[in-house]
Structure 1
Amino acid sequence: MIVLGLTGSIGMGKSTVAAMFADAGVPVFDADAEVHRLQGPGGALVPAIEAQFPGTTGPGGVDRGALGEAVVGNAEAFRRLEALVHPAVAQSRAAFLESHRAAPLVVLDIPLLFEAGGWQAVDRIAVVSAPADVQRARVLSRPGMTEARFEAILAKQLPDEEKRARADFIIDTGAPLEDTRVQVNRLIACLVTPRGG
């Protein structure tokens, strides 16, 4: 099995590319979706988060706005939150890999692959990238997004050019969707075709 780490900065189209891998039959582990599940109604992390950050959960699970208020700008609180979330996501990821161990290729969709050290646990890395003006337009069109919030998110992420430099593969999403799908399908063919066969 080849474990492909899929990453990219905000607004680069990573979720769209992950869906293309899934559409092609490649098992995809979505780290963000797993965090939402763990923090959603009845999620395994809800009691621990409430214990650490009282008043941040309710019947719908974690109130992301309230939790954000509790940790934003507070490095120590953010570390405490990560100490709860990261091991739970790692456990889910291990279970995913075990359940798909017969697959020739799996994708780990991890937004902060480089920033959180996850790149060490994958065989190859694909970075989803688009021109900076395309990225900015995509992100600023999101509901509730502001220039200041966008800049704050970018400041926490490794710059796109550094991600591209560290990648084994770059998937360009600045082109039409069908062009991106062709790139994804070529990459799958490249990774799952037996060597010398």
Structure 2
Amino acid sequence: MSFDLGLTGSIGMGKSTTARMFADEGCDLWDADAAVHRLYAPGGAAVAPLAQEFPDAIRDGCVDRAALRDAIAKDPDNLARIEAIVHPLVAQDRAEFRTRARAEIRVYDIPLLFETGGEAEMDAVACVWVAPEIQRARVLARGTMSAEQFERILSKQMPSDEKRARADFQIETDTLDHARQQVQDVIRQIKTRQAHA
């Protein structure tokens, strides 16, 4: 019997690195961001429906994320229109993964898990976290966004403390070794729980 573990955490908390650790331990991994990239790529399932609604957002047969962001900046109502197209396709991609996955533990890397109510589909949720000053330093060190953009993203996400309080497991990503130990501990706990189910 498979176990579905949702993995979430705010921007810059180390979620992608932690997700790879679960995969290294033999878990099957589904990545929400990677699913969106597949849907937006040439021939992806989101290209045609988004082209109908936002023709300016299609470049070279794929969805231009910057153009979608511009459309949202011009009219915030466009976000709901985009989500109405993309979210069902992401859900379908996740369902297909669920039927293909063979590992005992299936991990779902979903940044906005709680914000979208996705925890209802999971057997448990693990939240990655780190001190706010480390989070901020990590994000700004990437050089891909300004402090203002970082604050804007944070304002749209559920506060990290609230995510941690709602999660079944917490994984602090202050160091790689510490994070890996906690990932292994979460897997042990799940396997013990499965053995007694």
TM-score normalised by structure 1 residue count: 0.94
Matched, 1:22 2:15: no
> More displaced, 137-146 or 110-119?
137-146
Q: CA deviation at 1:95?
A: 0.8
Shift of 1:196: 5.0
Matches within 5 A, 1:137-152: 137-152=137-152
Q: Match for residue 192 of structure 1?
A: 191
> Is the CA contact (8 Å cut-off) linking 2:47 and 2:61 kept in structure 1?
no
Tell whether the 8 Å contact from 2:40 to 2:63 is kept in structure 1 after alignment. Answer: yes
Deviation readout 1:10-30 (Å, 9 max, x if unpaired): 000000000001111100110
Q: 1:60 to 1:144 in 2, by over 3 A?
A: farther
Q: Matches of 1:138 and 1:168 in 2, distance apart? A: 25
- The alpha carbon displacement at 1:74 in A equals 2.7
Structure-1 separation of matches of 2:34 and 2:189: 27
d(CA) in 1 for partners of 2:79, 2:167: 28
Once the two structures are TM-superposed, the CA of residue 60 in structure 1 deviates from its matched residue by 5.4
| Match runs of 1:24-173 below 5 Å | 24-59=25-60, 61-72=62-73, 74-100=75-101, 102-173=102-173
CA distance in 2, matches of 1:84, 1:106: 26
C-alpha deviation, 1:73, in angstroms: 5.8
**Aligned residues of 2:26 and 2:103 also touching (Cα < 8 A):** no
| Misfit runs of 4+, over 4 Å | none
Larger % of helix: which? 2
Contact 1:72–1:78 at 8 Å: present in 2 too? no
* Preserved CA contact (<8 Å) 1:18 1:28: yes
User: Which stretches in structure 1 are left out of the alignment for 5+ residues?
Assistant: none
| Matched residue type, 2:58 | T
SS at structure 2 position matched to 1:6: strand
Q: Which amino acid aligns with 2:91?
A: A
What whole-Å deviation, never above 9, does each CA across 1:130-172 have from its counterpart, x for those lacking one?
A: 0000000001112231111001000110000000110100000
Instruction: Report the Cα offset of residue 58 of structure 1.
Output: 1.6
Other-structure match for 1:179: 178
C-alpha spacing 1:25/1:73, structure 2 compared with 1 (3 Å) = farther
- Pairwise CA RMSD of aligned residues? 1.5
